[in-house]
């Protein structure tokens, strides 16, 4: 089973709540535990301008490719956009494209990164510059590899950028379970939004997911899915606050992978957010999610 990762995913962001090195740390943990072998790691290619234009405006694509950001661009994305940060976001797009291809080949594709669901077509938001999810899905459509895609967004925050990019596209069903009171203040309209209270906890969360995800899968009947597996649903997350335990998150992941496999829907995994006070806990959650993916591969 191959895992997609690039050394360029890690960019220096001193003092920022989003630590991009969490993806590299999760991979290192998996290697240490023997769950992953070095020979199984695939490095993605950078996306082309044509790839970015599938989901982004020409102006925004050029800004990302030429590193021509304004101060306003950085403020809106809540990032200090260095060259390293811009390259990390570009490479994460390439990683999700590759993971999507692997999913079609083997049933599950894993990007040890990705999930920039707050990026809109013409700007970045919420620590996200480029929407790797939307680019990958639209590339598969362009190449006529899929006809219907389901985005299963279980980050604690609504995937507003993804919902915006796919608004009106009947080929895509955007499923989002998120905190009603969390960022973004202004939510976009997904195909299905399930809003949760602070401190929801394992039992209520898993009951809602176990009820609504099978309905979405059976009603929409996708031939491909992207699973946005945010770690920020964790009870000790600084920005999430949905009250899930590590065990509850593993059951969440198993439910998603199991539901997709039971219906023979290939699924690409992206890791998205995670901001636990203890960095090691975010790393462990991401590693556990990948372990669950491997278990269903």
Active site (annotated) includes residue 16: no
Instruction: Give the active site residue among 89, 117, 118, 157.
Output: 118
Contact 156, 242 (CB under 8 A): yes
Q: Tell me how far CA of residue 6 lies from CA of 43, 279, 288, in angstroms.
A: 5, 20, 20
Q: Tell me how far CA of residue 51 lies from CA of 55, 131, 143, 268, in angstroms.
A: 8, 11, 11, 18
Residue with tokens 């905190």: 179
> Could you give the residue ranges of the DSSP H alpha helices within the chain?
21-33, 49-53, 58-66, 71-77, 83-106, 132-142, 160-165, 202-220, 246-262, 279-296
Contact 130, 64 (CB under 8 A): yes
Q: Which residues partner with 3 through β-bridges?
A: 41, 110
Q: Tell me how far CA of residue 188 lies from CA of 24, 160, 161, 174, 297, in angstroms.
A: 31, 5, 8, 11, 33
Peptide bond between residue 35 and the one before it cis (omega within 30 degrees of 0): no
CA torsion through residues 29, 30, 31, 32, sign: positive
- CA–CA gap between residue 199 and residue 182 (Å, rounded): 12
Give phi and psi for 153, each to the nearest 5: -100, 105
- The catalytic site residues sit at 118
């Amino acid at each position: 089973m191959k895992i997609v990762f690039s050394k360029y995913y890690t960019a220096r962001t001193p003092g920022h709540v989003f630590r991009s090195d969490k993806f590299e740390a999760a991979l290192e943990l998996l290697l240490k535990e023997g769950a992953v072998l070095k020979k199984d790691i695939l490095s993605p290619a950078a996306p082309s301008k044509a790839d970015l234009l599938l989901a982004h405006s020409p102006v925004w694509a050029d800004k990302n490719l030429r590193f021509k950001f304004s101060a306003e661009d950085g403020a809106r994305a809540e990032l200090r956009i260095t060259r390293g940060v811009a390259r990390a976001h570009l490479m994460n797009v390439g990683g999700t494209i590759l993971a999507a291809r692997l999913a079609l080949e083997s049933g599950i594709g894993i990007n040890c990164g990705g999930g920039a669901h707050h990026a809109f077509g013409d700007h970045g938001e919420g620590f996200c510059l480029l929407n790797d999810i939307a680019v990958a899905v639209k590339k598969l459509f362009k190449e006529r590899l899929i006809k219907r895609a389901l985005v299963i967004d279980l980050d604690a925050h609504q995937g507003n950028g993804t919902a915006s990019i796919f608004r009106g596209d009947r080929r895509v069903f955007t499923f989002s379970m998120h905190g009603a009171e969390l960022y973004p203040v202004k939510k976009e309209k997904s195909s299905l939004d399930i809003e949760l209270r602070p401190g929801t906890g394992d039992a209520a969360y898993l009951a809602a997911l176990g009820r609504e995800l099978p309905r979405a899968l059976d009603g929409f009947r996708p031939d491909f899915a992207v699973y946005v597996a945010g770690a920020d649903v964790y009870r000790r997350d600084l920005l999430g606050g949905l009250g899930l335990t590590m065990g509850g998150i593993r059951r969440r992941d198993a439910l998603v992978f199991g539901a997709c496999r039971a219906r023979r829907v290939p699924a690409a995994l992206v890791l998205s957010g995670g901001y636990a006070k203890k960095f090691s806990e975010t790393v462990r959650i991401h590693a556990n999610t990948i372990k669950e993916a491997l278990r269903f591969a």
